[in-house]
Structure 1
Amino acid sequence: MTDLVNEQVLAHTYDGGSYPDAWEAVEQYRRATRYASKHNTKSGATASALDLPRSRLRTWIDEDGAPDAMRAIETARDHGWLNCEYDDSEFAGLNALVANVLSGGSITERHYRPMFTINHRGEDSHIFDALELANVPYEVVDDRDGRADEARPSDGGTVLGRVLAVLGAPVGPKADQRLELPAYLEGAPEDVRETFVYSYLENRAIPHEGKDTLTIREERNREYLKDLTQLINDVTGGGVQLGDRDIVISSSIARELGTIR
């Protein structure tokens, strides 16, 4: 499968900013800059020839500017996020990052800045491998008043947040949303589904008091918890049940997943 992240969908995360239709602005930018380069014209002549606003073209042609969505497309392409496929190493990283946002991290609503939880495994947390696979430079933020340490992108972060949102990661507070599992997991190769599940469990699965089982407790809409339970069952081969409040992973499956504890 291709086109997991394409230019047009990424551009539309900028709708309502400087340009109501960000993809239209990208297309106009490309038209205008191609024309100006081919005919060696400035913004005025290009605007007249293409019937586009000169004020817009002045920024693009005379001042070497570009729409934010165009810059994002270039950044995403440079990092290998655009048009990635299931078997690309960059997508393997993005997949784990989406799981991390759903299970503990976040993406800010205003600027799409992602923050990723560093779980109890510390330096061995999957998040570091995921960031490296996705070509994301990062910094670790600790001393957060008792909250878990976080890894935050130090370059291209807001574009990464938009890419993850395109893939299905929630933007803004998760408790306020009706969550869904990413659509790309349907029909995805087994290794993609496994990576997602193991990344999720590494963050959220905790020992069940007095038992050898593992438990996931999250304040999420019921349909999401049902789908998550089914996905974990599909990957582990069974032994996972959704109760009134918790997803409970049987002791036999928990032993097989011992490396996440």
Structure 2
Amino acid sequence: MPPLITPKALARTYNHPSKDPWTAVELYREAATKPDDWGAQRVASAINSDQSNDFEGISRSEVRAWVDDDSKPDAARAVDVARELGWDADGWTDTTEALAELVIGVYAFGSIVTENYVPSWSPDDPDSQGAIEDALTWAGVGYQHVERDGDAQADEIRPGQQSTKLGRVLVVAGAPMGDKNADSVHGLPDWVADAPMVLKLNLAVILVRGRGTEYEGKGTRTIQTDRGPQYFRDVARLIEDVTGETATASEHGVTISAAAVRELGLLRPTH
């Protein structure tokens, strides 16, 4: 499968005052190849005269902070962190599977702040909480709990470090950002259909356990929330794919049969 994220897409979640953020990352990398004792003017001149790159008209001021002050574009820092932690791996690894679970966790009971990309999750059962904590650990960032005083909702789980960078990665991988409703959530990410079956099972469990409504004396569960109809079709298809049992999508939700709930390992024993 293609990677969940690409360095270029991650870089473009940032803003740059004068050029495409990915171009700024490439320019920074080019400048970083020049000798340490060169000043900004000499570096800019060398880049402009090098026929092997696509840069031209680069001014001293564009590279001065990187060369003279040893700074680095925020987008370049994020790209480097993604590489170091394996977030941009080409294929399914323990790390990218953890990212996938965090993305689906955002759909189920999480959020990503529009202004700063900080992600958080508020599961209301211990198993879902443990799944998010494990995924954050496998993603290489750890986790922290943030109490919500006076709030009836569960406490938040947030990354222990690299919060905004992880949030940007999750958005690039398909997690919704900001308010989740029928206008902003139209379906699950395309990569869900091609994920390994074991991972797809974990994703289905996250959704049903985290969002499914239980009924007294019945094994069936329903997921009803403000989402677009394609989202419900995608969720039902995922559940049926991993369980071989019935999940029915409507315009307003998904009904999961007791047999499907049982196959997901979520059917509570009756006494």
TM over 0.5: yes
CA contact (8 A) 2:106 2:176 kept: yes
Q: Deviations over 1:211-230 (max 9, x none)?
A: 22111111101111112111
CA distance in 1, matches of 2:267, 2:98: 18
Residues 109-118 or 93-102, more deviating: 109-118
Distance of aligned partners of 1:150 and 1:94 in 2 relative to their CA distance in 1, 3 Å threshold: same
CA-based RMSD: 2.0
Alignment partner, residue 89 of structure 1:
94
Alignment partner, residue 248 of structure 2:
241
Asked whether 1:129 is paired with 2:134, we answer yes
Distance of aligned partners of 1:122 and 1:241 in 2 relative to their CA distance in 1, 3 Å threshold: closer
Alignment partner, residue 157 of structure 2:
151
Asked whether 1:142 is paired with 2:147, we answer yes
Q: Give the TM-score normalised by the residue count of structure 2.
A: 0.87
- Write 1 or 2 for the structure with the bigger share of helix: 1
Alignment partner, residue 12 of structure 2:
12
State the Cα distance separating 1:90 from its structure 2 match: 0.5
CA distance in 2, matches of 1:3, 1:245: 32
State the Cα distance separating 1:166 from its structure 2 match: 1.3
CA distance in 2, matches of 1:124, 1:7: 30
CA distance in 1, matches of 2:184, 2:262: 33
State the Cα distance separating 1:122 from its structure 2 match: 5.9
Alignment partner, residue 28 of structure 1:
27
State the Cα distance separating 1:95 from its structure 2 match: 1.1
Corresponding residue SS for 1:214: strand
Identity %: 37
Corresponding residue SS for 1:147: coil
State the Cα distance separating 1:96 from its structure 2 match: 0.8
CA contact (8 A) 1:138 1:152 kept: yes
Alignment partner, residue 116 of structure 1:
121
Q: Deviations over 1:128-155 (max 9, x none)?
A: 1111111122210123411122111131
CA distance in 2, matches of 1:31, 1:17: 17
State the Cα distance separating 1:74 from its structure 2 match: 1.2
State the Cα distance separating 1:114 from its structure 2 match: 0.6
Aligned residues: 257
CA distance in 2, matches of 1:252, 1:232: 11
Aligned partner of 1:45 among 42, 47, 69: 42
Asked whether 1:77 is paired with 2:83, we answer yes
Alignment partner, residue 218 of structure 1:
225
CA distance in 1, matches of 2:17, 2:262: 53
State the Cα distance separating 1:78 from its structure 2 match: 2.1
Structure-to-structure mapping, 1:50-69, within 5 angstroms: 50-51=47-48, 52-69=58-75
CA contact (8 A) 1:138 1:151 kept: yes
Q: Give the TM-score normalised by the residue count of structure 1.
A: 0.90
Alignment partner, residue 55 of structure 2:
none
CA distance in 1, matches of 2:19, 2:267: 45
Q: Which runs of 5+ in 2 are unaligned?
A: 49-57
CA contact (8 A) 2:248 2:256 kept: yes
CA distance in 2, matches of 1:71, 1:170: 23
Distance of aligned partners of 1:111 and 1:17 in 2 relative to their CA distance in 1, 3 Å threshold: farther
Corresponding residue SS for 1:152: strand
State the Cα distance separating 1:258 from its structure 2 match: 3.9
State the Cα distance separating 1:123 from its structure 2 match: 8.1
Corresponding residue SS for 2:248: strand
Asked whether 1:171 is paired with 2:177, we answer yes
Residues 187-196 or 166-175, more deviating: 187-196
CA distance in 1, matches of 2:18, 2:213: 46
Distance of aligned partners of 1:160 and 1:260 in 2 relative to their CA distance in 1, 3 Å threshold: farther
State the Cα distance separating 1:113 from its structure 2 match: 0.7
Corresponding residue SS for 2:141: coil
